Amino acid sequence: MAEFTAKDVMKLREQTGAGMMDCKKALVDADGDFDKAGELLRERGIAKAAKRASKIAAEGVVYALAAGKTGVLLEVNCESDFVAKGEKFRALVEKIAKQIADKKPADVEALLNSSMDGETVETYIQAQTGVIGEKISVRRFTVYETEGFVETYIHMGGTMGVMLDFTCEPTAEHKALAHEVALHTAFSKPAYLTAEEVPASVIEKEKVILTQEVINEGKPAAIAEKIVLGKIKKFYEDNCLLEQKFVKDDKVTVGQLIKQAGAAGSLKRYVFYVMGEGIEKKSEDLSEEVAKQVEAMKK
């Protein structure tokens, strides 16, 4: 076998953008032949995946999986809505969700480094990037291990997802209730579960803002504090899931609805993802994009 050095590995990495271990393996498999190693990386989809690293993956799906006592909510991004709706991308997302449910990794980094079918999840995604032709990125996930049951809801094919953890028994009535609360959560997007969860610093900041607002409205100082307390109560009603008016019946709160179903205190936690939220989408003039591609071909 031909000899190769660490400098060769670094050079191959710089030219292809592939990971160090992938470059080293390619050089080993190519018997030290640098050009052949580059071809192997392309064949494996790794070099192609690396070239897309600068692309912005702002499309994708939110996906939910409930398996026994484990629930997973996952967001995986790609570059276009067309790919997001494709079977290959959807199959990739489902496979990753099952990996999360099985391995229960602590974070995205641990997930990417976990072993799946004899390779790491990161290597699998790189290869699929080559097949699908777009940058693919696992953005975030949440795993729940429940004492009762997990309820999930996916809106509009993956534009948003909700996962709830109930500690009560999964009776038909409780499951129906959970579905209604999941729909409500998707609609209202609460910031907290209960009023007790709201940090004191948030409330203090809100009081300062509201006090100034009341003063600016010309209200007497003697009643300003009482008015602010009323506004704080409204803040809890707007931002805390159990304090919110139920979207289908504003005469009861979500907390009261759960209590009426004989499941008081059983909603332990919740999470929701809005697909692509906070990701800045890249906007380029078509002629500029074509010019860049032509220039890149000359290099």
Tens-digit pLDDT profile for residues 161-184 = 999 999 999 999 999 999 999 999
Nearest one of 260, 208, 257 to 232, comparing CA atoms: 208
Contact (Cβ atoms closer than 8 angstroms) between residue 152 and residue 255: no
Q: Is 293's pLDDT higher than 50?
A: no
Q: Is 186's pLDDT higher than 90?
A: yes
Residues 6+ apart with CB under 8 A from 33: 2, 27
Average the pLDDT over 126-149 and give the result.
93
Tens of pLDDT, residues 46-105:
665 555 555 667 899 999 999 999 999 999 999 999 999 999 999 999 999 999 999 999
Average the pLDDT over 209-224 and give the result.
86
- Say which residue, 39 or 33, is predicted with more confidence: 33
Domain ranges of the chain: 55-145
The alpha carbon of 175 is separated from its chain's Cα centroid by a whole number of angstroms, namely 25
CATH superfamily, domain 55-145, is: Elongation factor Ts, dimerisation domain (3.30.479.20)
Residues 6+ apart with CB under 8 A from 173: 261, 262
Average the pLDDT over 186-215 and give the result.
94
Q: What is the mean pLDDT of the chain?
A: 88
Average the pLDDT over 145-149 and give the result.
97
Residue 212 has a pLDDT of: 86
Q: Is 205's pLDDT higher than 70?
A: yes
- 121: its two tokens: 């999840």
Residue 240 has a pLDDT of: 98
Residues 6+ apart with CB under 8 A from 169: 148, 149
The alpha carbon of 256 is separated from its chain's Cα centroid by a whole number of angstroms, namely 30
CA angle, corner 274, sides to 137 and 237, nearest 5? 150
Residues 6+ apart with CB under 8 A from 241: 181, 185, 188, 190, 192, 193, 194, 254, 267, 270
- Say which residue, 34 or 94, is predicted with more confidence: 94
Q: Is 1's pLDDT higher than 60?
A: no
> How far is the C-alpha of 48 from the C-alpha of 83, rounded, in Å?
16
Q: Is 286's pLDDT higher than 50?
A: no
Nearest one of 35, 199, 50, 34 to 122, comparing CA atoms: 50
pLDDT band at 297 (very low <50, low <70, confident <90, very high): very low
Secondary-structure percent of the chain, ordered helix, strand, coil, rounded to 5: 50, 20, 25
Residue 55 has a pLDDT of: 67
Residue 10: how many other CB atoms lie within 10 Å = 12
pLDDT band at 290 (very low <50, low <70, confident <90, very high): very low
Percentage of residues in the chain with pLDDT exceeding 70? 88
> How far is the C-alpha of 255 from the C-alpha of 127, rounded, in Å?
47
Up-side HSE of residue 237: CA atoms within 13 Å toward CB?
Answer: 13
pLDDT band at 2 (very low <50, low <70, confident <90, very high): low
